[in-house]
């Protein structure tokens, strides 16, 4: 109604202007048209709701925590470059990179023909030594039976006893050699020492391999941990009150609770850092050895402070940091700018050390283009 009233008054005024001027005066016509358009614009602005829609949250007094983020790497508890135990020609390879294996699985086999012959020869020598020992023991037993009757000289008995001892030693030597040759034969097969995934394959059929040269890589994918380097300036932050969480490179927003596994109290003289190792509380299916990860340290500051959501902060071009608060101006909720000083940042919150009191309603959405004293249409954070 107010807008219609304004238009009516202005229209009447325009008619009076036209009446007092000559009918052909173009200036009067233009003036009347301008006045009429101004009135129409004013009535449209009055008809619209001038309140800016915003979402607000309370500035709260609560215990403060300090957050430190470290870049780390996902590592496996077990990781090995596998090598053969004897030289030989690669006869077969049972796996390739990416294959999952269990402890004891056959991975690679060398040509073992010559080793098998050596083992068979050693087995035969062991059998021969055992037969000679049995014969010597039989003859010694017969001699000892005849000795009391003086049918055989005592010297012969002693010689037979010595022969038995020699044959026993020969049998032990033959048995040891047979065991050695069997071990060499078995070492022509490379088996998985633990459960894991083949990470690399560095040999091919027909290649000659020697002990010490890596032919396969094996990485355990269970019991993963994250290793990070802690600067010595932050070493005192790692204590019993520190909470740990980890986030992966492909999903920085999601955090997984973790626990401290080890803090190696030996610094790297070049980097002045300490090794920090944490383990997720629960298994994380997305974790893979070698992935980049972030270790978050959440430290109790043992004091309280005023905090606001980080979305409430605006950094201006002149370097000032401001927040917009909601104030009551003669029964109307309007925006008011506050210059603040910030402190700690943690869990999406920012400490305000100066410029704001607890209980203030701060704008967290819709604060990018507010003006001082602008009326607001307020909705609480979390309210639909």
276 Cβ contact list (under 8 Å, min separation 6): 70, 72, 227, 228, 229, 230, 238, 260, 262, 263, 295
C-beta of residue 233 within 8 angstroms of C-beta of residue 257: no
Residue 384 tokens, joined: 């639909």
Residue 321 and residue 246 share a domain:
no
Span 264-277, mean pLDDT?
81
Instruction: Report the percent of the chain where pLDDT is more than 70.
Output: 85
How far, in Å, are 72, 78, 192, 206 from residue 106 at the CA level? 34, 19, 7, 18
What CATH number is associated with residue 181? 1.10.287
Residue 144 and residue 183 share a domain:
yes
C-beta of residue 87 within 8 angstroms of C-beta of residue 209: yes
| Confidence (pTM) | 0.59
Residue 122 and residue 90 share a domain:
no
State the burial class of residue 75 (Cβ atoms within 10 Å of its Cβ: 0-12, 13-18, 19+): middle
Annotate 159-189 with b (16+ C-beta within 10 A) or e (fewer): ebeebbeebbebbeebbebbeebbebbebbb
Span 340-362, mean pLDDT?
92
Final residue of a structural domain among 282, 303, 324: 303
Range of the domain at 119: 112-187
Whether the pLDDT of residue 7 is over 80: the answer is no
Span 233-250, mean pLDDT?
84
Q: Are strands 251-268 and 106-110 parallel, antiparallel or unpaired?
A: unpaired
324 Cβ contact list (under 8 Å, min separation 6): 54, 312, 314, 335, 336, 337, 338, 362, 363, 367, 370
How far, in Å, are 326, 333, 366 from residue 377 at the CA level? 10, 8, 10
What CATH number is associated with residue 372? 2.40.420.20
Residue 131 and residue 156 share a domain:
yes
- Residue 313 confidence class, pLDDT cut points 50, 70, 90: very high
Whether the pLDDT of residue 216 is over 90: the answer is yes
Q: Say how many domains are in the chain.
A: 5
Task: Return the higher-pLDDT residue of 205 and 48.
Answer: 205
What residues pair up with 245 in beta bridges, in sequence order? 257, 296
pLDDT (tens digit, 9 = 90+) per residue, 67-112? 888 999 999 989 999 999 999 999 999 999 999 999 999 999 999 9
Q: Which of 159, 156, 136 is nearest to 147 (CA)?
A: 156
pLDDT at 253: 79
Residue 40 and residue 22 share a domain:
yes
pLDDT at 22: 45
Average pLDDT, the chain: 85
pLDDT (tens digit, 9 = 90+) per residue, 103-126? 999 999 999 999 999 999 999 999
pLDDT at 162: 93
Residue 179 and residue 122 share a domain:
yes
Residue 311 and residue 299 share a domain:
no
pLDDT (tens digit, 9 = 90+) per residue, 154-210? 888 888 899 999 999 999 999 999 999 999 999 999 999 999 999 999 999 999 999
pLDDT at 151: 66
- Residue 381 confidence class, pLDDT cut points 50, 70, 90: confident
86 Cβ contact list (under 8 Å, min separation 6): 110, 115, 184, 187, 188, 211
Final residue of a structural domain among 130, 165, 187: 187
Residue 228 and residue 213 share a domain:
no
Give the Cα separation of 59 and 62 in Å (integer).
Answer: 10
Span 5-10, mean pLDDT?
40
Residue 182 and residue 157 share a domain:
yes
Residue 347, φ and ψ in degrees, nearest 5: 50, 40
Whether the pLDDT of residue 362 is over 50: the answer is yes
308 Cβ contact list (under 8 Å, min separation 6): 57, 59, 60, 323, 349, 350, 352, 356, 362, 364
Task: Return the higher-pLDDT residue of 185 and 145.
Answer: 185
- Residue 150 confidence class, pLDDT cut points 50, 70, 90: low
Task: Return the higher-pLDDT residue of 359 and 48.
Answer: 359
pLDDT at 28: 45
CA 61-63-69 angle, 5° bins: 120
pLDDT at 53: 94
Task: Return the higher-pLDDT residue of 61 and 241.
Answer: 61
Whether the pLDDT of residue 61 is over 90: the answer is yes
Residue 197 tokens, joined: 């995934």
Residue 100 and residue 90 share a domain:
yes
pLDDT at 239: 77
Residue 135 tokens, joined: 């014969």
Residue 263 and residue 244 share a domain:
yes
Q: How many Å separate Cα 365 from the centre of its chain?
A: 32
Give the Cα separation of 30 and 43 in Å (integer).
Answer: 20
Residue 276 and residue 338 share a domain:
no
Whether the pLDDT of residue 376 is over 50: the answer is yes
Whether the pLDDT of residue 334 is over 90: the answer is yes
Q: Residue with structure tokens 């829609």?
A: 53
Q: How many Å separate Cα 338 from the centre of its chain?
A: 39
Residue 53 tokens, joined: 């829609």
């Amino acid at each position: 109604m107010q807008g219609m009233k304004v238009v009516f008054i202005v229209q009447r005024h325009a008619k009076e202007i036209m009446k007092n001027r000559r009918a052909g005066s173009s200036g009067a016509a233009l003036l009347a048209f301008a006045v009429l358009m101004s009135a129409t614009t004013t009535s449209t602005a009055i008809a619209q709701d001038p309140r800016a829609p915003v979402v607000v949250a309370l500035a709260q007094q609560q215990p403060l925590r300090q957050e430190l983020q470290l870049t780390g790497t996902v590592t496996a508890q077990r990781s090995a470059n596998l090598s053969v135990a004897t030289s030989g020609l690669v006869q077969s390879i049972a796996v390739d990179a990416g294959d999952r294996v269990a402890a004891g699985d056959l991975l690679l086999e060398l040509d073992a023909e010559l080793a098998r012959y050596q083992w068979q020869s050693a087995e035969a020598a062991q059998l021969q030594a055992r037969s000679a020992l049995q014969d010597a023991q039989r003859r010694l037993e017969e001699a000892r039976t005849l000795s009391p009757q003086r049918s055989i000289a005592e010297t012969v008995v002693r010689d037979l006893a010595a022969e038995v001892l020699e044959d026993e030693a020969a049998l032990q030597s033959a048995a040891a050699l047979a065991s050695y040759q069997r071990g060499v034969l078995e070492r022509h097969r490379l088996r998985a020492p633990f459960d894991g995934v083949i990470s690399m394959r560095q040999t091919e059929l027909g290649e000659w391999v020697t002990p010490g040269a890596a032919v396969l890589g094996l990485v355990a994918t269970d019991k993963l941990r994250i290793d990070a380097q802690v600067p010595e300036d932050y070493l005192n932050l790692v204590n019993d009150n520190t909470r740990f969480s980890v986030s992966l490179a492909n999903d920085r927003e999601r955090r997984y609770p973790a626990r401290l596994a080890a803090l190696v109290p030996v610094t790297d003289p070049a980097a002045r850092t300490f090794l920090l190792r944490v383990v997720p509380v629960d298994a994380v299916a997305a974790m893979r050895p070698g992935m980049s990860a972030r270790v978050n340290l959440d430290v109790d500051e043992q004091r309280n402070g005023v905090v606001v959501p980080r979305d409430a902060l605006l950094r201006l071009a002149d370097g000032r940091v401001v927040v917009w608060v909601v104030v009551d101006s003669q029964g109307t909720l309007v925006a008011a700018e506050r210059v603040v000083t910030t402190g700690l940042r943690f869990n999406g919150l920012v400490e305000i050390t100066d410029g704001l009191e607890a209980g203030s309603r701060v704008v967290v959405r819709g604060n990018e283009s507010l003006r001082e004293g602008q009326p607001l249409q307020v909705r609480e954070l979390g309210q639909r």
